[in-house]
A and B are shown apart, each in its own frame.
Chain A
Amino acid sequence: MTAEALASKVAGRFPQVVMAAVPVKDYCTLRLTSASELAPVVGFLKEELGFDYLEMVTAVDWLGPVSPEGFVRGGRNPNPFASEEPPTPPAARNPGAPYKPVFDLLWCLANIPERSRVFLRLEVPRDRPVVPSLCAIFKAADWQEREAFDLLGIAFEGHPNLKKILTPDFLVGHPFRKDYAHVKDRYDE
């Protein structure tokens, strides 16, 4: 199924779901307009178009360049003999970058017999990152959503077991957020 054919099929049922302006290159990418659409669209794709394999769940924090505070050395050069050069202001580095205070969530569904896959994306505001969980539809969502919760702090509503999975219990914050500031614990210095 070509990307356009798939997009038009989905648009036939959900007219507000359109091809995303920034696609994941070479793949069909559909943009959802609100979190409440997620479950019906995914259900439609699974039941009627045969996309029954959840390949990936992830999210991107588009706040801006990553903060050096998120690293143990605070972004300093690891070479102790290197001269300390003044840091470039982050905004000046990439002028054309599409920074905005949102989390961009991304789901990848695959149809194994037809060898096609589709990406769904949804923007949620950074101050209230809540999306419905897909655990009831795909069991594969279980750990991947926990990972996104642990690393980016996105709350998946309806997830049966939403808790930390990768980072240690004493780690404060969500390290993959761009503004994450590392708090030194008993193992750092």
Chain B
Amino acid sequence: MGVILEKFPKAAKALPGGSVALTTADAFIGWSRKYSLWPVQFGLACCAIEMMAAYAARFDFDRMGVIPRASPRQADVMLIAGTVVKKMAEPVIRLYHQMPEPRFVVSMGSCANCGGPYYDSYSVVKGVDRLIPVDVYIAGCPPRPESLLYAVVKLQEKILKMKLAKGAGATPQQETGARNINA
């Protein structure tokens, strides 16, 4: 897949009518990507309970193609559901790097966004975007499951904007911060 995504845009641009082919390919790849967002089954704190509620019957995450995977190797998106403490920082980074490209991160809840109620604590990382790049932030302590659904919708919109011509087949290598997919 990586070879196609990296080499195909260059080859297509050289051809006559290549940009049309690229647009079609974008639409197809984006469509297939956005409806099969598989998150790592990974909960940290309070928000993980709301995440579980989102998987359960009422909110039914499955209908958006979101099915939890037990292994990061099979996952596309990481839901950081809860407080990231310093002891957990290393495993979070490692899990992120174990996921295949393209990978997305949703920072769920105040703690993952900026430390939340623990902004002053000696053992909490003040925002997971200090460790890994984040695509969507959800506010709330904890956010409702609907917010998580909305975040997935936003992520899907973002995925549709990823263009092969801009080299966004594989996400740009960014270490930390709020990620701009088109950068």
Q: Do chains A and B touch in the complex (CB under 8 A)?
A: yes
A positions within 8 Å CB-CB of B: 70-73, 78, 167-171, 175, 180, 182, 185, 187-188
Q: How far is the CA of A78 from the CA of B120 in the complex (A)?
A: 8
Inter-subunit contact A71/B120 (CB<8 Å): yes
Closest B-chain residue to A71, C-beta based? B120
Inter-subunit contact A187/B89 (CB<8 Å): yes
Closest B-chain residue to A169, C-beta based? B87
Inter-subunit contact B123/A167 (CB<8 Å): yes
Inter-subunit contact B120/A72 (CB<8 Å): yes
| Cβ-neighbour of B123 out of A73, A78, A171 (below 8 A) | A171
Inter-subunit contact A73/B122 (CB<8 Å): no
Name which of B85, B89, B122, B131 has the most chain A CB atoms within 10 A of its CB: B122
Inter-subunit contact A171/B86 (CB<8 Å): yes
Question: Which residues of A have CB within 8 Å of B123?
Answer: 167-168, 171, 175
Chain A interface main SS type: loop
Question: Which residues of A have CB within 8 Å of B131?
Answer: 187
| Cβ-neighbour of A73 out of B119, B125, B130 (below 8 A) | B119
Question: Which residues of A have CB within 8 Å of B86?
Answer: 168, 170-171, 185, 187
Question: Which residues of B have CB within 8 Å of A188?
Answer: 126
Q: How far is the CA of A173 from the CA of B120 in the complex (A)?
A: 17
Chain B interface main SS type: loop
Question: Which residues of A have CB within 8 Å of B125?
Answer: 187
Q: How far is the CA of A185 from the CA of B126 in the complex (A)?
A: 12
Minimum CB–CB distance from A43 to chain B (whole Å) comes to 37
Interface positions, chain B 96-140, Cβ under 8 Å from A, are 119-123, 125-126, 130-131
Q: How far is the CA of A152 from the CA of B86 in the complex (A)?
A: 19
Closest B-chain residue to A184, C-beta based? B122
Minimum CB–CB distance from B12 to chain A (whole Å) comes to 43
Q: How far is the CA of A167 from the CA of B119 in the complex (A)?
A: 17
- Apart from A167-B87, A187-B130, A188-B126: 15 A-B pairs, beta carbons within 8 A: A70-B122, A71-B120, A71-B121, A72-B121, A73-B119, A78-B119, A167-B123, A168-B85, A168-B87, A169-B87, A170-B86, A187-B86, A187-B89, A187-B125, A187-B126
Closest A-chain residue to B120, C-beta based? A71
Minimum CB–CB distance from A68 to chain B (whole Å) comes to 10
Closest A-chain residue to B118, C-beta based? A72
Inter-subunit contact A71/B122 (CB<8 Å): yes
Inter-subunit contact B120/A73 (CB<8 Å): yes
Between A and B, 5 residue pairs with Cβ closer than 8 Å are A72-B119, A73-B119, A169-B87, A171-B122, A185-B86
Q: Which 3 A-B pairs have the closest CB atoms?
A: A168-B87, A71-B120, A168-B86
Question: Which residues of B have CB within 8 Å of A78?
Answer: 119-120
Closest B-chain residue to A76, C-beta based? B120
Q: How far is the CA of A168 from the CA of B85 in the complex (A)?
A: 9
Question: Which residues of B have CB within 8 Å of A168?
Answer: 85-87, 123
Question: Which residues of B have CB within 8 Å of A171?
Answer: 86, 122-123
Question: Which residues of B have CB within 8 Å of A185?
Answer: 86
Question: Which residues of A have CB within 8 Å of B119?
Answer: 72-73, 78
Minimum CB–CB distance from B169 to chain A (whole Å) comes to 32
